[in-house]
Structure 1
Amino acid sequence: MPMKNLSLKSKFLKEALTLKINEKAQFLKKEGKKVYFFSIGEPDFSTPEEIKNKGIEAIKNNFTKYTAGAGILPLREEISKDIEKRLGIKYKPEEIVVTVGGKFAIASSILAICDKDDEVIILSPYFPSYLEMVYIAGGVPKIIKLKEKERFVLKPEILEKSIGKKTKALLLNSPHNPTGVVLRKDELKEISKICEKKDIFIISDEVYSQLLFDGKEHFSIASFKEAFKRTFLIDSFSKTYCMTGWRVGYCAAPLKLSKTVAAIQSHMNSSTSAISQYAALYALKMENKKLKEMLKSFEERRDIMVESLNKIENISFIKPEGAFYIFINVKNYLKGNKKSFDLSLYLLENFGVATMPGSSFGMEGYIRLSFAVSKEDIIEGVKKLKEGLNCFLKP
């Protein structure tokens, strides 16, 4: 007897190309081959020992039950203080929702505002899960392609022209994955004015907000009065505190918005792990010496990768100001019908260089490299990349 069809939404969901690359890279490593993991999307540093010990302490103290859907109050209070200290924005603890990682904070924010066929503006290149999150919510992604020659920055006039009657929100990301671009205060101000004028929500993904280089300062669009009431500010402990597997993120928003996010989470996840929340509370209170050391290391690695890439002809890229990625224009190496995925697979299989194809981020003709690897691997891996690119050109 035939089964009923799966939902229409499920037909839009695609397996991430990034998973295929990572799976292949792990297979090659298991076979004993040297792999340069420029595909990695998380810090290569371990969670600080003090934070791990707090997780162990939580278990020993039997702090292992359900928590409030929005998270434990002491953690929400500490997040509120941290946001005010870093960004100058005041949120009450009840306006903070601790979520199962930053991804669920974004997904639940989209669910909170999207009705069927509502549009969410997504800027290409984008974090791959953005599209699927909108599809799951029944919405329609509306893509604006950013330009390398304009620093991959959204022009306010382009945003205004793109907003239609069905447009519900703009999904913004700074510091930006995959380009490493950090939006300036004046650029954010212009975007906030358009969102106010057109009355659309803003979902501001700021999970790399503390991974900045060259003395750059992070500004949140929520800091502008006209944007505050319509913004879901998203952040995470994953990148800043090397806690990717602990699954702790948060959404900060005015009460009407945050209450809806909290309700969605309470029905879908109950809450994030009590143990992880206990450890995250300590992370916010510990001295940031470890963060400074990590940032110094990432900046050094970035400089090494930039210097190495500058020796490769016929590529271009924006020097990253934040996060730990470089988005490289490789169009000159893609001849005929060759695509970025073909190049990424070729580099991995023949030279052990794992990269992410630009098509994963909605922008063909590019590959993304992460410098969250050792300095030695950066130097040797980019040499292999150069060799691989030249070989890929040959018939």
Structure 2
Amino acid sequence: MHELEEVNTILSDRISALSESQTIAMAKKARELAAQGHDVINLSFGEPDFQTPQYIKDAAKQAIDEGFTFYTPVAGYPELRQEIAKKFKRDNNLDFAPENIVVSTGAKQSIANAVLCLVNPGDEVIIFSPYWVSYEEIVKLAEGTPVPLMGRLENDYKVTAEQLEKAITSNTKLIMYSSPCNPTGAVFSKEELEEIGKVLEKHPNVYVIADEIYEYINFEGKHASIASIESVRDRVITINGFSKGYAMTGWRVGYLAAHKDIAAACDKMQSQITSGTCSIAQKAAAAALKGGNESSLEMAEAYRRRRSLVLDLMQDIPGFKTYVPSGAFYIFPEVSAYFGKSYDGKVINSALDLSMFILMDAHVAVVSGEAFGAPQCIRFSYATSDEKLVEALRRIKNSLAKLQ
């Protein structure tokens, strides 16, 4: 049998410059460790531990029985887009028509569609930092220039209007942020967004991607959308979806709402990449919206309780600097107090080193802050059971105590 000759595969500069998602990479390492027989608690993934509500599952089964097994319109079923428009009016007091809405295979695709349709090579994209891991990489794919803008810990890591004003240049094309924020859990108030809107009024060629995927997981009251500010509304692309609020991660349904010209461009982009989203998942998503958000609010209340549990347990771990997150389901402590410490000859020089130490010694998976633009932090997800959270924090406390 002849052995295959080695082939020198030359990959594109585009893929070579792209970083792997650190959340997915850490989850992969956790699975590998678990496969070796270790009891690993995974706090690295941003995935609700709740089951999708039964009425949504039932709608999917009904869709199959009724024969919804064919290709769908690129921008989504008219019924679903209409329900999304109703949702925007009901929850956000925003007036969108179905033509303003494009349904995609997850909110990540919605973000990618918008970035690829707006950003030219060399355009600067200001990304409020800490930020979700994929923002910067998606901008790189569009050959734009990511410009991270770091919020201060004392302001819950939220970027201020004054910071934004100083960061905008003649090359700025786009601003990206999430609220509630992944990874910090910070939530922008209506007043804060209005101040940011005043800055944007002076820069009519700058657009905004507002990622609101954690909208329903908000512990501080009513959610605020920057698209509600009339002077900038036509330049805002609002991103949302079903994965977090309705515990529908595997269903892969997200959407954007924007000016009809931007929506049409995203429809065109998507038509050449994936076309329409899964028919069954869309029918389930429509049912989710028709059913209101009662189940979402029940899950949010569970997250609120878990947040308090984790913060209480962290009080006993020296060296963690944190704050009380206002939404989402993450804690994002500053951990630089451990840099320079060591155990068994291994020195902790970074948050990535600390994350790997915690995984290998405590068998708890967390994510390094480098991936989120904050190399002095690590991210914990508390979207898991109380029992696992208590055990995970116990293990982490014991492992960190070994570092000298």
Band of TM-score, shorter chain: over 0.9
CA-CA distance at 1:292 after TM superposition? 2.6
Indicate whether 1:24 and 2:35 are aligned.
no
Give 1:163's aligned amino acid.
I
CA-CA distance at 1:5 after TM superposition? 4.5
CA-CA distance at 1:324 after TM superposition? 0.2
CA distance in 2, matches of 1:216, 1:344: 33
SS of corresponding position for 2:202:
helix
SS of corresponding position for 1:261:
helix
Report matched runs for 1:378-389 at 5 Å: 378-389=389-400
CA-CA distance at 1:285 after TM superposition? 0.9
CA-CA distance at 1:4 after TM superposition? 8.3
Contact between 1:210 and 1:240, CA under 8 Å: does it hold in 2? yes
SS of corresponding position for 2:401:
helix
Q: Which whole-Å deviations, capped at 9, do the CAs of 1:143-195 have from their partners, x for residues lacking one?
A: 11222122211121221121112110000210001110000111111111212
2:49 maps to 44
Give 2:373's aligned amino acid.
G
1:141 maps to 146
Q: Which whole-Å deviations, capped at 9, do the CAs of 1:83-124 have from their partners, x for residues lacking one?
A: 111011100111111111100111110011111111111122
1:302 maps to 307
Indicate whether 1:356 and 2:367 are aligned.
yes
CA-CA distance at 1:128 after TM superposition? 0.8
1:205 to 205, 211, 219: 211
CA distance in 1, matches of 2:288, 2:7: 52
SS of corresponding position for 1:169:
strand
Indicate whether 1:67 and 2:72 are aligned.
yes
Indicate whether 1:346 and 2:357 are aligned.
yes
Contact between 1:175 and 1:181, CA under 8 Å: does it hold in 2? yes
Contact between 1:327 and 1:366, CA under 8 Å: does it hold in 2? yes
Q: Return 200-209 or 184-193, whichever deviates more.
A: 184-193
1:313 maps to 318
1:13 maps to 18
Report matched runs for 1:173-322 at 5 Å: 173-199=178-204, 200-213=206-219, 215-322=220-327
Indicate whether 1:111 and 2:122 are aligned.
no
1:125 maps to 130
Q: Return 326-335 or 45-54, whichever deviates more.
A: 45-54
1:369 maps to 380
CA distance in 2, matches of 1:40, 1:100: 19
Over the matched positions of the two proteins, sequence identity in percent amounts to 39
CA-CA distance at 1:389 after TM superposition? 1.7
CA distance in 2, matches of 1:254, 1:245: 29
Give 1:386's aligned amino acid.
K
CA distance in 2, matches of 1:292, 1:6: 46
Contact between 2:24 and 2:45, CA under 8 Å: does it hold in 1? no
CA-CA distance at 1:34 after TM superposition? 1.9
Contact between 1:216 and 1:321, CA under 8 Å: does it hold in 2? no
Report matched runs for 1:72-111 at 5 Å: 72-111=77-116
Unaligned runs of 5+ in 1: none
CA-CA distance at 1:3 after TM superposition? 6.9
CA distance in 1, matches of 2:292, 2:163: 42
Give 2:207's aligned amino acid.
F
2:344 maps to none
SS of corresponding position for 1:268:
coil
Q: Which whole-Å deviations, capped at 9, do the CAs of 1:192-214 have from their partners, x for residues lacking one?
A: 1212211200000000011111x
CA distance in 1, matches of 2:352, 2:244: 26
CA-CA distance at 1:293 after TM superposition? 2.2
CA distance in 2, matches of 1:179, 1:338: 22
How does the TM-score come out when normalised to structure 2? 0.94
How has the CA–CA distance of structure 1 residues 30 and 7 changed in structure 2, closer, same or farther, with 3 Å as cutoff?
closer
Q: Return 21-30 or 228-237, whichever deviates more.
A: 21-30
SS of corresponding position for 2:327:
coil
CA-CA distance at 1:2 after TM superposition? 8.3
Contact between 1:179 and 1:318, CA under 8 Å: does it hold in 2? no
CA-CA distance at 1:30 after TM superposition? 2.6
Give 2:363's aligned amino acid.
G
CA-CA distance at 1:287 after TM superposition? 4.4
Contact between 1:114 and 1:168, CA under 8 Å: does it hold in 2? yes
CA-CA distance at 1:279 after TM superposition? 0.7
How does the TM-score come out when normalised to structure 1? 0.96
Q: CA RMSD in A?
A: 1.6
